Amino acid sequence: MKGPNDNAIRFPKFTKKSCSKRAFVSRTSQQPTLLCLMLSISLESSMFNIMALFEPLKKLTLDCICIHNLVAIFCLVYAILKISKLIVKRNECIQALQPFLGPPKHWFFGHIREFKQDGTDLFKIVEWAESYPLAMSMWFGPFVAFLNIHHPDYVKAILTSTEPKDDLSYSFLIPWIGDGLLVSKGQKWFRHRRLLTPGFHYDVLKPYIKLMSDSAKTMLDKWDSLSERDESFELFEHVSLMTLDTIMKCAFSSNTNCQVARGGEGEINSYIKAVYDLSNLVNIRFRIFPYHSDWLFNLSPHGYQFRKACKIAQSHTEQIIRNRKEALKDEEELHRIKAKKNIDFLDILLCARDENQQGLSDEAIRAEVDTFMFEGHDTTASGISWTLYSLACNPEHQQICRDEIISALEGRDFMEWEDLSKMPYTTMCIKESLRLYPPVPGISRKTTKPITFFDGRSVPGGCLIGTSIFAIHRNATVWENPNVFDPHRFLPENSAKRSPHAFVPFSAGPRNCIGQNFAMNEMKVVIAQTLRRYHLIEDPTKKPKMIPRLVLRSLNGIHLKIKPVHLEP
């Protein structure tokens, strides 16, 4: 039985010990909760701080994305505008050259791939000229087109004008030779031409003959050892060094002894090599149409090579100018230059004054020196080398020239001014060689106004006109048997029957070669003294392969054999 208090609520008994135990259990059970709470608060605080730190970065990233998008949009718009401009230019070229047919072309490369760079390129143009006897359109890539002319009557319309050189291919020369007489236009060209013309006056050229003769003799003395061998040697290198020696003496009164002095030979040869490299790189740049863009070319390996070669060539001409300016600081030297009867090309550049007593700027002087250094030695070297080769291939004409020269020199082994007019047959042979192997095989202009040709066809202003001197000189409608070496073409009675624009090795008209008399005189001197001392013999195993590199060169060099001439006492 339950007692009266059995259903009553019973409360636990709390002793001191039990209370202590419960308190401990309660505290220990609450610690993890507090720890988690504290960690949670700490993590939230850290995350907040981290997010605060990354907020600027997030903003920067968004800004970069925006900038990249803007740059991409700008590049896209620029590319569209550029392509649109090129398409408009292409359409303008097509419209301008519509009256002129041309050989079949690739839609993108044009006629570039037709030129193999194997010695046949110039003959390819002659072959096309037979199908298009007056003029033809030629494309170099998808956006550059030239009207190529190769008939005297067409050439006359261009060369008798003062139309400037084209602003494409000639612009590639400006970093090298500056805006000199070769590439300048308008009033600048007219002023420079007028200031420089006195440098090629009869009285200035006359004393140069002895200097040319001395340089030629130095080269021929070096050939004595070569004449003892029964093998050919490469000609162009020797002639190029000789013409450089000549131009240094005549134009800059600088006797470098570059043909014999071992100390300076490396530097001079480095200049000749630089000129060769520059000529080749300009040709490459013209043929690879993406290189028409300055920044693409400058970023390329070829652009680096071009700048390096420019530095070498220009350092040579800068040294020439620097040396002369140092001399001119001396008042006595300046008075001597102004007073002397025969002044050189550099004297004229430094002392020239126009009607306003204004001289040429330092930049203009350097441009003209660079231009004349290149044109005065490289083109002449080409003309002399190919003439010697022509005479080696035609021994019967070579002997006639030799007999004439020996008679004119009257026992002397050097040339004088009066002897130049005593060699008419030799002069005809030189001209015939210049016809077959023009030192500058092509030139080009850009029209500033519409031009109408004799057959009624016309081109608008802004058209590029290429004049193929090589094709004109081998045009079968102008020259009978054009590939045959025949000096009699230049007998006075035969020349009178032809257009004066059928033979243009030095161009023609107001923009003709200012130094053509200098070049012809040097060619006569060198050819005469060479034939007097040596028989020239062709090497049939090493036929030259002609290539245009600003001047006419050979892909495999020009090789000859030589034997001494034994004169009867």
Q: Which parts are annotated binding residues for heme? A: 513
DSSP classification of residue 507: B
Q: Radius of gyration of the chain from Cα atoms?
A: 39
Structure tokens at 372: 């004349």
Q: How far is CA 65 from the centre of its chain?
A: 43
Query: Beta 233-234 vs 534-538: how paired, if at all?
Result: unpaired
- Report the distance separating Cα 452 and Cα 490, nearest Å: 31
The pairing of strands 464-468 and 145-149 is: parallel
Query: Quick check: helix, strand or coil at residue 546?
Result: strand
Tokens of 179: 């805006």
Is 168 exposed, middle or buried (CB count within 10 Å of its CB: 0-12, 13-18, 19+)? Answer: middle
Question: In b/e form, how buried is each residue of 230-259, taking b as 16+ CB within 10 angstroms?
Answer: eebbebbbbbbbbbbbbbbbbbbbbebebb
**φ/ψ of residue 233, rounded to 5:** -135, 160
* Residue listed under structure tokens 């040596």: 534
Q: Is the dihedral of CA 478, 395, 221, 403 positive or negative?
A: negative
Q: How many helices (H) and strands (E) does the chain have?
A: 21, 11
- Helices 262-287 and 235-252 meet at what angle, rounded to 10? 110
Cα distances (angstroms) measured from residue 416 to each of 232, 355, 409, 530: 30, 36, 8, 15
| Start-end of H helices in 340-377 | 345-351, 362-374
Residue ranges at the known binding site: 513
Task: Give the residue ranges of DSSP H helices in 410-552.
Answer: 424-436, 469-473, 492-495, 516-533
Contact 530, 536 (CB under 8 A): yes
